[in-house]
Structure 1
Amino acid sequence: MWTGNGGSFDLVLDPNFGTNGFLYVFYTANAPLRDTVSRFTASGNAAVPGSEVVIWQDTVAAGQFHHGGALEFGPDGRLYIATGDHFSASDAQSLTSYHGKILRLNADGSIPTDNPFFDGAGPNLDAIWALGLRNPYNISWDQPSGRLFIGDVGEASIEEVNLGAAGANYGWPICEGNCSQTGMTNPIFSYPHAGRDAAVTGGFVYRGTQFPASYMGSYFYGDYVRNWIRRLTLDGSGNVNGDGAFWPEDGSLDGPWGDIVDMVQGPEGALYYTDVGISWEGQFRQGTIRRISFVSANQPPTIMQASASPQSGLPPLTVTFSATATDPENNPLTFLWVFGDGVTSNQPNTAHTYAAAGPYTARLTVSDGTNQTFSSPFFITVGNPPTATIQAPLNGATFRAGDVIPYSGSATDPDEVLTAANFSWTILFHHDTHVHPAGGPFTGTTSGTLTIAPTGHSYQGNTRYEIVLTVTDSTGLQNTVSVFVFPEKVNLSLDTNPSGLTLQIDGISRPTPFVLDTLINFQHSISAPNQTLGGTQYQFSSWSDGGTQTHTITVPAVNQSYTATYQAVPPPAPSDFGVAYGFEEGTGTTTADASASGNTANLFGPTWVIGRYGNGLSFDGVDDRARAALSFTLGPAFSLLAWVNNPSNSAFESILTVGSSRNFYLSNGTLAFYNGTTDLLFGSALPNSGWQHVALVYDGSTLQAYLNGTPVGAPQTVTLGAVTGALQIGAWINNANNNTDFFNGLLDEVRIYNRALSQTEIQNAMNAAVLP
């Protein structure tokens, strides 16, 4: 028997079942260990031996949990298959994995070429129709509207009801519930966990007439963990406009309504649902099928009291059954006791003797001739049941990932000798208030082992394993005992520097800081993706444990902190410059222009030094300069930018010039501009030590200077036309075409734009190097 949530999941009949007898089953195969959808041919109430045809099979081994497992034929005649993420969350976003998807196939297993990701011989798995799901174990087509409803179980915060669409991405594990990221399809309805666990069970749209007309078109859905059924009302466009309690009517949680995992509309219009019966009100019981129907004029009887005493003893055992009931319309009532051994009684108060040892289930039915009411079952034990004992492990034992926990038991029976054939073991994984099957039943053995995998279902929250032993004697009497084993956990504190960015744990995004309570020796994948927050881009720099950007950690035996350090990435500088010199060569007598024009500058004297970004140039204030090989046309609008380190504060020091009539310079350390006739000054002197960013912007009417990205000095209104002339850095070209007013200091990152930059663009440019 497969361990975990594997096994048989769903069965659906072919649309032409009446003529071809085909039915389809989603199950986990053992060899190979794969989730599989197979077609069988029915004959009567059984499948014809040897009739199995595999329609689809996963390409990788099945995980222990989160298989999805739903099947539905759509109005297009195609077979739709829902798959879970198998606790590998990132698979849900991959087009090369079947996990976390809705698949669409032809009934014979071939793939429709109009599937949204179909690429033939390409890398995509062509059967994928939609993606980004976690564990959609129930889907349903509403044939009249042509809508596919998908219930998807959330991880930590939100349960979803989604509407199927070709090519849709429902967001897992990037987000749960509504997602602001572009390209995601939001659920039509969701509800929060609100501090406790939950697991949505997708249902169906009601199209029957047995319920009142107000129920027509409502979508019923349930919750496996919270033990209720609710209904959504939809408008004419399919939008949710109401959510109300259905069963129980007061909407209360955790009642005796079963572990609801499936629901359908019956042919007569009643609602049928499946209680999987893993842990029924804290007791081990068989699963049940339950029916809810609407009663209007005639109300069913009310059983006021029903009892059976004694409910255990040696044979022959005489049990007294008694009951009282009333009817709202005072109709005459009939009683029927079914004793479970083939004998019945129509008396409300009666006695019945059980002659043979064994377990029996007795139940009362009361009828008013129109409607019936059933009592809860009475479980009668006749004879001496066996006594089971779990010898190992001890109740309360602990474990770590990688441990192999041996379990063993013994049993006695006063009436017979028991053997291993009488033993059956089941492993349950408890997570908060709900339960996952984790193994078994394993029969015919008095011992076994439970291996704690280092990956898979997390151990966050209130988690533990229950090892259950059931011993059954030859009369069918049973004794069930269990022990709990608990995880040894530590707290991992995860954060980013700066704090507040998002990290991924096992593919699931979580904002920092957060604490992960997890199992010692368990393995987690931690990832620090590059991201944007508040308009700032952040690039991963390092992990505190020295790991790569995405790496696997093994949980230590003590609390541990992991911090991912990021660097803020400056916004890109405007790249539409006329010329741009980054001075990155570090050697030689030329420097390259990063613009499309490739206007290389020749160096006459300046020496290579460490610049503001990378390398820069040092000018001696005597005769050093750099001149572009080609003439340059400036304006009419323009922006002139450079990094300067000028300790001299001389009267005239040219930063850059175009011809003789456009000169950007420093006058005793103050930003200045010569327009061919007038010298214009802006603000006060620059600091005479350290790098300073300077800029001058002309928008066609006004000149404005900037120091370190901030306006400096009063704006000046002037009229400037475009000019063409020699482009020179570090010296002015005067009217006689002589070089003068040499710069004394360091220059780097010289840029010219033939447009007016905004202040933000200037700041972006000053924070980014010129790239070759």
Structure 2
Amino acid sequence: MFFHAVSVGFLLLLATYIVKEAHALPSGFIAETVTSKNAISGTFAKNPRNDWKPMMLLVNQGGKVSAVEDPDESSDTTEILDMDDKICTNVERGLQSIAIHPNFEDNRYVYLYYTKHKDDCLADNSEDGPWNVISRFVMNPETLMLDYDEREEIWRGAPLHDSVHNGGAMTFGNDDKLYVATGDGGTPENAQDSKSALGSLIRLNDDGSSPDDNPYTTASGYESYHCRNTKGKVPLDASDNAICSEIFATGLRNPFRLSMDPNEKEKTRLAISDVGGRTWEEINYAGTDYEGANYGHKPYEGPCLRHSADECPVSDEFEEPFYWYQHRENKDGCVAGSAFVPEGLWPEEFKFLFIDFVFYDIYTLIEDNENACRTCIPPIPKYKNETFYHSITYPGDGKNEAKMVDMFFGPYKDTQALYIVKFGNHDTVIRIRYTGIHNEPPSVNFDFVDKYYDVDEEVLFDGSLTEDPEGDELNFKWFFGDGGKSTDINPGHTYREPGAYTVTLIVTDSFSQIQEKSKTIQIGTPPSVKILSPIEGDQFYVGQILRLRGEAFYANGTAFNEFKLEWEVRKHHDEHYHPFLGLTLGNDFDIYPAPEPEDFYASLNSYLEVILYATDENGLVSQTSRQIQPTLVMVDVRSNAPGTKILIEDEPITTPEQVWSWKEQDMHLKVENYPPYVFDSWSDGVRDPERVARMNYSEPIFEAIFCVEDGGTCLMGSISCCIGECNADGACVVPIKIPPMTEPIEPFEPLEEEISPPPTAPTTALSNSGPSSLRNNDSSSSSAIMNMSKNLGSTISTAGKALLSTACLLITVFVALIMCKQKFRQGTTTTDALIDEKVDGNGEKLSHEGSNQGTLVNVATSSSSISDNAIVTV
């Protein structure tokens, strides 16, 4: 019955992943291209030089900010800021987001979140690495320009240990506070460490200070510091309870995007898209009702424990996401931008949308309480998703074509539309709007022979690939990029000058629904280009300084000026890539030290791609690329207790196992105790259970050595006892070494004033111990033993009363030894004795009450006298 319930739940979950093959929108919607400008995020502001009409502001990772002043009618853009040489752009760093002050018409404040340039961005550590900042700019009302030199850095984060998990989403709330989501910087522990704001949602006043009503301020009783004033972290001399006052919530991994609910008027409600690791993607609510929330990273990912789909306990400590979804096999998943649909703008069923970057999809969430099942394996949320839009892909172009990263609602004529930012080989911004026309728009496509054409050679274009789902009559308009136009379905065109031209086909159906598509055609002979370094077959190791060197020649054989060559390096991982080196002009130069794999599983599906571009004076572009694979190292992970786990890069590995690493990678290993097994050391003598080992030798072996706790089962020759010895029965027993008796104990009568009765507790302990073999002792033996006990007590009292405060066990052992000594004089070599006699305060024997409980004492000796080094095991 349980299996059936789980299977049904799993099928319901899979059903939410069904993707429409076509990229068609639901009936009544239409998608349009706004601009082909490179961007990673954007927003709207009112244009101060155009009667405060809406304009779109776009930012790209390389540090550029552009304005689209009339997005309803024109794709023309104006660059208003370039921070190319002032920020770090390697991997996930760079300019991430933009926010506009709620009172922009009065102050013209523009906020940017980016990684500040430092030491060529090479340092990656928690002390000297670059850090993220928020800068406030004032827009020039005449030129729209943002002056970098006049900026005000209102907040800074802690130094970054790694170049991934940069976060950087930013928006103002209804409370006029600035909400900023920061990543953990590639160190998962940061998300639960409030001594910096890494892995947190922070809340700031518009000048970067901490609001008094933040949850962790001094006014709230915390030892708090505004960490922008202390290099992004609490001071080193602060207590363990110190916290950054700007923190509003914690427990985030890589909160890449943030959206505000425009339908919530009285308070602030946000949605955080937090990118997951190996198993889950999640979207969390944040804002007024979630002050002080902890979203669970690193212990949790989605509804389950990190990297698990079947260990999913409900936690009262962490705030659970309102929606989660599992990665697809061999394709992972990567949640990106989201948007709340303004009430009344679209049909009622469309309330909330989100993007998955690697699926090429926008999904809409639909409440589904009936099928929700938190206790199913895997858990099913209260929402199901349906595909709203599938992005156009370009087969053969490689990865990252037309992948969507962000979206937001903004003005369009007298209503609003959804604006989507695509990032990859085909950067563009599109607009999706609701027309209410329940007729699907045309699907536009055209083709031509893909080659380099000579000047005056006719190019034949084929528009017959364009279709209309309902068979409506279509009107065609061609724009050939040189001023030429046509309304034919399959026109021909001749270009008179060499160059790269953008050809656009615009198609309109009988319902006046317009769709378009553009392609680039090159006329003339392009340059030739070649990569000289790295050479074909080169591999890299972590930290290696790679040198880029190439050459290019014009069609007439003239060599390119080196400063006209343009390079790009991408770090590929699974189905996506991270920019490792942004577009850079020059030649024969070194680049960043080669990276480590992004995570444990990335060792076998990651590589670097080096791309060289050459563009001539006519705009003709040639490019070539080369893949550089990492040098792999096989790592043998073992333990002397097979089946125990070792954490490698936070991934549990069941021993024995062989895993892959990269040469010169700093591999993080950690061992925990697995009772009754206790970590003792590594086989190379390192005793710290957590270590960092550099993979700078071939076939490394890491073996964790465990020992067995007292009472556990030991394996002779394999797992030894932590304390004591492994006996013949396979049990660990603890030896106790008896101090040598250096002087004989002579009987004497104690002086009354020097002797006090032994304490009650030790004598009581004696009454409950001892093997029963002494029960039949004759009276003379018992009397002699009792006299020796009195003499021993007297001697100890005289030597120093400190010995009387020793543990009950030690007193028991000493008394037992004295009693055994009497037996040994009768020729016994090994005695098992149970002492169950009771003595009074003067050491006199009391009556036996029938107890048969006691402690077994084994005393081994080789003669009739007790050895000075006798070992007693208890």
TM-score of the superposed pair, with normalisation by structure 1: 0.71
For the 8 Å contact 1:208–1:265, the answer to whether it is kept is: no
- 1:129 partnered with 2:248: yes
- From 617, 620, 628, the counterpart of 1:477: 620
Provide structure 1 residue ranges, at least 5 long, that are not aligned to the other structure.
278-284, 572-610, 657-687, 697-724, 749-768
Which residues of 2 match residues 667-682 of structure 1 at below 5 A? none
Distance 2:835 2:202 in 1: 60
Q: Does 1:524 align with 2:628?
A: no
State the secondary structure of the residue aligned to 2:301: coil
Q: What is residue 515 of structure 2 aligned with on the other side? A: 374
Which residue in 1 is equivalent to 2:593?
A: 451
Asked if structure 1 preserves the Cα contact closer than 8 Å seen for 2:400 and 2:423, the reply is: no
Equivalent residue, structure 2, for 1:491: 634
> Residue 417 of structure 1: CA displacement?
4.5
Give the CA deviation at 1:20.
Answer: 1.9
Q: Give the aligned residue type for 2:294.
A: N
Maintained 8 Å contact 1:632/1:727: no
Provide Cα deviations, 1:153-208, integer angstroms capped at 9, x if missing partner: 22222222223333333333334232447733333332233442322214122225
Question: Which of 307, 316, 326 in structure 1 is aligned with 2:447?
Answer: 307
Work out whether 1:159 is the aligned partner of 2:263: no
8 Å CA contact retained: 1:64, 1:456: no
Structure in which a larger fraction of residues adopt helix? 2
Contact 2:500 2:620 in 1 (8 A): yes
User: 1:58: Cα distance to partner?
Assistant: 1.9
Tell me: CA distance 1:727–1:394, structure 2 relative to 1, closer, same or farther (3 Å).
Answer: farther
Q: For residues 834 and 421 of structure 2, what CA distance do their matches in structure 1 show?
A: 72
On the 8 A contact 2:191/2:297 being kept in 1, the answer is: yes
Looking at structure 2, the residues matched to 555 and 290 of structure 1 have their Cα atoms a distance apart, in angstroms, of: 46
Structure 2 gap segments, 5+ residues each = 1-84, 120-129, 218-222, 226-237, 306-312, 375-380, 712-732, 749-754, 787-828, 860-872
CA RMSD of aligned residues (A): 4.5
Q: Corresponding residue for 2:573? A: 431
Per-residue deviation, 1:359: 0.8
Aligned equivalent of 1:245: 386
Q: Specify the alignment match of 1:462 in structure 2.
A: 605
Do the aligned partners of residues 31 and 260 (structure 1) sit closer, same or farther apart at CA in structure 2, a change above 3 Å counting?
same
Counterparts of 1:450 and 1:440, CA distance in 2: 11
Q: Match for residue 297 of structure 1?
A: 437
| Aligned counterpart for 1:348 among listed residues 489, 505, 523 | 489
Contact 1:228–1:251, Cα closer than 8 Å, also in 2: no
How does 1:620-699 map onto structure 2 within 5 Å? Answer: 629=758, 631=760, 644=770, 650=776
Q: Once the 2 structures are TM-superposed, how far is the Cα of residue 86 of structure 1 from its aligned partner?
A: 2.2
AA at the equivalent of 1:134: R
User: Structure 1 residue 222 and structure 2 residue 355: aligned?
Assistant: yes
CA distance in 1, matches of 2:835, 2:403: 71
How far residue 253 of structure 1 moved from its aligned partner, in angstroms, is 13
How far off its partner does 1:497 sit? 5.4
Q: Matched residues in 2 for 1:471 and 1:490: separation?
A: 36
Match of 2:317 among 183, 196, 217: 183
Range with bigger deviation, 333-342 or 426-435: 333-342
Deviation at 1:88, TM superposition (A): 2.3
Deviation per CA, 1:699-729: give whole Å up to 9, x if none.
Answer: xxxxxxxxxxxxxxxxxxxxxxxxxx98779
CA deviation string 1:713-751 (max 9, x = no partner): xxxxxxxxxxxx98779974249x9xxx9x998499xxx
Deviation at residue 263 of structure 1 after TM alignment: 1.7
Match of 1:72 among 164, 171, 195: 171
Residue 101 of structure 2 corresponds to residue 14 of structure 1: yes
Answer yes or no: is 1:420 the counterpart of 2:562. yes
Quote the offset at 1:30 in angstroms: 1.1
Choose which of 665, 671, 680 in structure 2 pairs with 1:541. Answer: 680
Q: Which residue of 2 aligns with 1:318?
A: 458
User: Residue 35 and residue 295 in structure 1: after superposition, are their counterparts in 2 closer, same or farther (change >3 A)?
Assistant: same
Going from structure 1 to structure 2, the CA distance change for 1:640 and 1:376 (only over 3 Å counts) comes to farther
* One-letter identity of the residue aligned with 1:46: L
Residue 368 of structure 2 contacts residue 382 of structure 2 at CA under 8 Å; is this kept in 1?
yes
Aligned-partner SS, 2:96: strand
**Aligned to 1:476, what secondary structure does the other structure show?**
coil
**1:19 partner SS:** helix
CA contact (8 A) 1:628 1:726 kept: no
1:432 Cα deviation after fit: 1.9
Question: 1:475: Cα distance to partner?
Answer: 1.1
Give 2:695's aligned amino acid: V
Find out whether 1:335 has 2:476 as its counterpart.
yes
Amino acid at match of 1:445: N
Q: Which amino acid aligns with 1:186?
A: E
Look up the equivalent residue of 1:423 and give its one-letter code: L
Deviation at 1:340, TM superposition (A): 2.0
Report the alpha carbon displacement of residue 449 of structure 1 after superposing the two structures with TM.
Answer: 4.2
Asked if the contact 1:274–1:288 (Cα under 8 Å) also holds between the matched residues in 2, the reply is yes
Change (3 A) 1:148 1:298: closer
SS in 1 for 2:563: helix
Q: 2:339 aligns with which of 195, 204, 208?
A: 204
1:310–1:175 CA distance, 2 compared to 1 (3 A): closer
Question: How many Å separate the matches in 2 of 1:36 and 1:172?
Answer: 23
Aligned pair 1:213/2:348, yes or no?
Answer: yes
Provide the C-alpha distance between the structure 1 equivalents of 2:767 and 2:102, rounded to a whole number of angstroms.
73
1:8 aligned counterpart, secondary structure:
coil
For residues 312-366 of structure 1, give each alpha carbon's deviation from its aligned partner in whole angstroms, at most 9, with x where no partner exists.
3122343233424565666653321122234433343433332221111111111
- Structure-2 change in CA distance of 1:552 and 1:650 (3 Å): farther
Q: Distance in 2 between matches of 1:93 and 1:692?
A: 56
* CA distances 1:663-688 after superposition (whole Å, capped 9, x unpaired): xxxxxxxxxxxxxxxxxxxxxxxxx9
Q: Which has the higher strand share?
A: 1
Q: Secondary structure at the match of 2:174?
A: coil
Mapped pair 1:63 → 2:173:
no
1:604-642 residue CA offsets vs partner (Å, 9 max, x unmatched): xxxxxxx9564679999xx99x997455799xxx99996
CA distance in 2, matches of 1:745, 1:242: 65
Q: Does 1:410 align with 2:551?
A: yes
CA contact (8 A) 2:834 2:855 kept: no
Q: Distance in 1 between matches of 2:517 and 2:831?
A: 87
Distance 1:528 1:309, change over 3 A: closer
How far is 1:133 from its partner?
2.1
Shift of 1:14: 1.3
1:463 and 1:612, CA in 2 relative to 1: closer, same or farther beyond 3 A?
A: closer
CA distance in structure 1 between the aligned counterparts of 2:137 and 2:762, rounded to whole angstroms: 80
What is the distance in 2 between the residues matched to 1:101 and 1:631? 59
Asked if the contact 2:394/2:401 (under 8 Å) is kept, the reply is no
Q: Distance in 1 between matches of 2:638 and 2:110?
A: 51
Question: Structure 1 455/225 Cα, relative in aligned 2: closer, same or farther at 3 Å?
Answer: closer
1:109 aligns with 2:208: yes
The one-letter amino acid of 2:258's match is I
Q: Which has the higher contact order (CA 8 A, sep 6+)?
A: 2
8 Å CA contact retained: 1:492, 1:560: yes
Does the aligned pair in 1 maintain the 2:768–2:855 contact within 8 Å?
no
Whichever residue aligns with residue 402 of structure 2, its letter is: G
Whichever residue aligns with residue 89 of structure 1, its letter is P
Secondary structure in 1 aligned to 2:448? strand
Task: Tell me if structure 2 keeps the 8 A contact 1:503–1:526.
Answer: yes
Query: 1:15-44, CA deviations, whole angstroms, 9 ceiling, x for partnerless residues?
Result: 222322112111112147321111112235
Task: Report SS of the residue matched to 1:266.
Answer: strand
Amino acid at match of 1:302: P
C-alpha distance 210-134 of structure 1, shift in aligned 2 (>3 A): same
In 2, distance between residues paired with 1:78 and 1:651?
A: 88
Q: Normalising by structure 2, what TM-score?
A: 0.63
Matching residue's letter, 2:169: A
**CA–CA distance in structure 1, aligned partners of residues 626 and 693 of structure 2:** 31
Distance in 1, matches of 2:632 and 2:90, equals 24
